[in-house]
């Protein structure tokens, strides 16, 4: 059951219903297998693709469904409720292609958005490096101009869906003396000569979504694949994250909702001392706290999604707040769900142990929650006297 303080517009309720129908039938039954085998859920991808839910954010003019930021968040939430690994299909397609949408030339948009919309290739985002995680300005990957081309050399780490994605937004240094103002963004294709991938990381959760290093060895790409202008890459990267942190918040909501649904059903069936454990006040208090915090996280996330669609001035604050709060709630709710299921919660007989493992990454990627709190505090200090609403 989803609790809302207000009723969503009918179009968004319809998006939720359509996404839930597909996910309950085609995605949820495959979630455990994707986790057990640590393989990309291709069948779930095909189901999402058939329903036009694999990249719902792509505008209609580029062949996409044209679903707005709130609708896209709802899609990701519903997919994550069924399978967190599969939710990284629409989420990372948005993350990878958002720089092109925000700053790419019309030529780039026409070249790369239609294939993503058609499901002919996914789009990943390459920012992090071995020595540049939270300190994203300390990139080492270089892009050197050579006539009408750029030559890229370096390595990216922790790249979601790497190897399975066809397209990559890559941030590289074009002016080593300018630090963050010397970073530029490019589109790189999987088939470009010199692109290679490391072995899949062995992870705690989201095992069905591959995470690999991406290597660039004298990768020569046309200058037309520059996103925006030289030196604008860091600004594009940060603006992208303002929008896509909302999608991680939505993923966290879905994981938490799935865990709450499972726990609420279980405690009504589990009998102890001659009655369902749902009748015990201690259990009820846990469920109440889980539902209350999840409802609060949902309202914050939906508000942030609306601000993303409008590109409001306070999006940085709301994007960071939604991601941080919703992911903390997801970790708490999934942990409590395991507790409510007792010994069964600790086994793979039920999905809550997977959901708990999956929830953890939402507190880490697209900026750790410690970094989110720094971002939030800076916004507060820079806007003393302002009201965030």
Beta-carbon contacts of 250 under 8 Å, excluding residues fewer than 6 positions away, are 72, 73, 74, 76, 77, 80, 91, 301, 305, 326
Residue 119, token pair as written in the block: 């499901």
Whether residue 201 lies in the annotated active site: no
What angle do helix axes 28-37 and 42-50 make, rounded to 10 degrees?
A: 150
Residues with catalytic annotation? 366
């Amino acid at each position: 059951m989803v609790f809302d303080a207000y009723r969503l517009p009918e179009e968004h309720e319809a998006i939720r219903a359509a996404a839930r129908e597909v996910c309950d039938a085609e995605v949820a039954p495959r979630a455990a297998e994707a986790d057990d085998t640590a393989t990309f859920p291709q069948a779930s991808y095909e189901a999402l693709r058939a329903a036009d839910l694999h990249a719902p954010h792509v505008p209609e003019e580029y062949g996409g469904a044209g679903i707005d930021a709130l609708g896209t968040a709802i899609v990701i939430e519903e997919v994550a409720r069924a399978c967190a690994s599969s939710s990284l299909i629409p989420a990372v397609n948005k993350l990878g292609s958002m720089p092109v949408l925000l700053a790419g030339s019309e030529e780039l948009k026409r070249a790369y958005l239609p294939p993503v919309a058609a499901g002919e290739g996914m789009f990943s985002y390459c920012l992090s490096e071995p020595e540049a995680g939270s300190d994203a300005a300390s990139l080492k990957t270089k892009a050197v101009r050579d006539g009408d081309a750029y030559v890229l050399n370096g390595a990216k780490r922790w790249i979601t869906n790497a190897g399975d994605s066809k397209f990559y937004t890559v941030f590289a240094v074009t002016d080593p003396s300018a630090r963050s103002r010397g970073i530029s963004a490019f589109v790189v294709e999987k088939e470009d000569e010199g692109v290679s991938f490391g072995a899949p990381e062995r992870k705690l959760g989201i095992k069905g979504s591959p995470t690999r290093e991406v290597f660039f060895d004298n990768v020569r790409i046309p200058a037309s694949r520059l996103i925006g202008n030289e030196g604008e890459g860091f600004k594009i990267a940060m603006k992208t994250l303002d929008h896509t942190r909302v999608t991680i918040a939505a993923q966290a909501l879905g994981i938490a909702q799935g865990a709450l649904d499972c726990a609420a059903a279980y405690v009504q069936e589990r009998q102890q001392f001659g009655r369902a454990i749902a009748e015990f006040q201690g259990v009820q208090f846990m469920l109440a706290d889980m539902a209350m915090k999840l409802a609060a996280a949902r309202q914050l996330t939906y508000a942030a999604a609306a601000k993303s669609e409008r590109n409001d001035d306070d999006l940085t604050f709301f994007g960071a707040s939604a991601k941080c709060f919703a992911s903390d709630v997801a970790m708490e709710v999934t942990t409590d769900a395991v507790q409510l299921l007792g010994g069964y919660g600790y086994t793979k007989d039920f999905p809550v142990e997977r959901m708990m493992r999956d929830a953890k990454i939402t507190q880490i990627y697209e900026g750790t929650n410690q970094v989110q709190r720094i971002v939030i505090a800076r916004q507060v200090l820079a806007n003393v006297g302002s009201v965030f609403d």
